[in-house]
Amino acid sequence: MDSELKDKIALVTGASSGIGRATVWKFVAAGARVALVGRDAEALAAVAGEITQRGSEAFVVAADVTRVSDAERAVAESVARFGGLDVLVNAAGGLLGGTVENTTLAAWDAMLDVNLRAVFHLMQLAIPHLETRRGNIVNVSSVTGLRAFPGVLAYCVSKAGVDQLTRCAALELAGKKIRVNAVNPGVVRTQVHRRGGMSEEAYATFLEHSRTTHPLGRVGEAEEVAELILFLASERAAWITGATYSIDGGRAQTCAR
Task: Give the count of domains, the chain.
Answer: 1
Q: What pLDDT is stored for residue 35 in this prediction?
A: 98
In a domain, 2, yes or no: no
Annotated catalytic residue 155: yes
Query: Domain residues for 171?
Result: 9-250
Domain containing 68 — which CATH number? 3.40.50.720
In a domain, 219, yes or no: yes
In a domain, 210, yes or no: yes
Q: What confidence tens digit (pLDDT) does each residue in 140-180 have?
A: 999 999 999 999 999 999 999 999 999 999 999 999 999 99
| Lowest model confidence (mean pLDDT) among 81-85, 221-225, 252-256 | 252-256
* pLDDT higher than threshold 70 for residue 210: yes
In a domain, 143, yes or no: yes
Rounded to the nearest integer, the mean pLDDT of the chain is 94
In a domain, 1, yes or no: no
In a domain, 257, yes or no: no
Q: What confidence tens digit (pLDDT) does each residue in 36-93 have?
A: 999 999 999 999 999 999 999 899 999 999 999 999 999 999 999 999 999 999 999 9
Cα separation of 247 and 112, whole Å?
Answer: 23
pTM as predicted: 0.94
Can you tell me the mean pLDDT for 226-253? 97
In a domain, 135, yes or no: yes
Around Cβ 100, how many Cβ atoms within 10 Å?
8
196 pLDDT band (50/70/90 cuts)?
Answer: low
Q: What pLDDT is stored for residue 201 in this prediction?
A: 82
Q: What confidence tens digit (pLDDT) does each residue in 86-137 have?
A: 999 999 999 999 999 999 999 999 999 999 999 999 999 999 999 999 999 9
In a domain, 170, yes or no: yes
Cα separation of 178 and 135, whole Å?
Answer: 5
**Sign of the CA dihedral with 190 first, then 11, 167, and 152 last:** positive
* pLDDT higher than threshold 80 for residue 4: yes
Which of 25, 59, 82, 155 is labelled catalytic? 155
194 pLDDT band (50/70/90 cuts)?
Answer: low
